[in-house]
Amino acid sequence: MKNQNKPNLKNQVKTAIITGICGQDGSYLAELLLGKGYRIIGIDKDLHKAFNLSVLGAGSIELVQLDIQDQSEIAAILSRYKPVEIYNYAAYSSGEGMFDDPVAITEVNGVAVTRILQAIYQVDKNIRFCQASSSEMFGQSPQETPQSEKTPFQPRSPYGAAKLYAHSMIQIYRQHYGLFACSAILFNHESPRRGLNFVTKKIVHEAVRIKLGLIKEFSLGNLDVRRDWGFAGDYVRAMWLMLQQPHGDDYVIATGQTHSVKELCEIVFGYLGLDYRDYVRKDASAWRPTESAQLVGDSAKAKKQLGWEPEMEFRQMVKMMVDTDLRSHTHQAKKNE
């Protein structure tokens, strides 16, 4: 005779915790999981800056404030909401801020991840965890190109070093403590929700302002620097796929193609009917102290084991960013009339 009290797991709503939910990646993941019927607990230190969540609909996410460096508070959140999955985007961002505050970066991007892992171990070892890791762990001059999960790490910034510490702890908690913990080694990924401290957003933002007659020119550093740029929506989908596998593992998530800052300028300004050479001024002081050279990812493992492929092409993504900024500026102008 069947046990009538056995719960119907198929009809249970999955609960996921997303830290850093107000950022670019957090908001795209929230959008993805809402479409899959998840209950979402969103955590961010700046809940008043939740403009990226406005497109998702009011009341669709339960927002919670949390000090990610408070071990007992993290454990309490896990006990209260009982998530089946946790996605961690809480971190100081890369871009222009990788050297700004080494101690704080180490605490938030590195040690806080260990606190989350330890809270999972104490509260419920069945919780699946995915960390937004970074290609910056490979450093300025990678030992091989393209970079895969087997490429040696040699970070050259506090940001990269902190991410590598977190990456190492994830492997330890997976191998020694038996947690389902994954590290998504994300290469550069952009979208209309990207912050202005990233060169892609800066170029789009300033080009639109030039088109609208708000400014006449702006400065950039090295236009020959190349990046492996993908779409944030594609990358968070890869992270979700990672937590649906039989076992936790680490994966490089990238497009496998690079584009120069110059090419980015050509696409953005060309789409606006302008020539970037008339408006972009080179500024050597804007160069990073240590530029990451030829970072390009090999996602063969993710493609084979996860069935993941990037869906949005670079030029399409850039045009979407321009269109969004144009609409935003036009809307703001009408509000100010």
| Positions marked catalytic | 134, 136, 159
d(CA 140, CA 154): 8
Task: Please enumerate in sequence order all residues whose Cβ is within 8 A of that of 258, keeping only pairs 6 or more positions apart, or say none.
Answer: 226, 227, 228, 229, 294, 296
d(CA 294, CA 251): 19
Q: What is the DSSP letter of 204?
A: H
Task: Report which residue type is found at 134.
Answer: S
d(CA 233, CA 31): 9
- For residue 199, give the nearest of 97, 279, 90 by alpha carbon: 97
Q: What angle do CA 156, 93, 80 make, to 5 degrees?
A: 125
Is 96 within 8 Å of 140 (Cβ atoms)? no
- For residue 292, give the nearest of 241, 239, 244, 221 by alpha carbon: 221
What are the backbone angles phi and psi of residue 132, rounded to the nearest 5°?
-80, 95
Task: Please enumerate in sequence order all residues whose Cβ is within 8 A of that of 235, keeping only pairs 6 or more positions apart, or say none.
Answer: 25, 184, 186, 189, 253
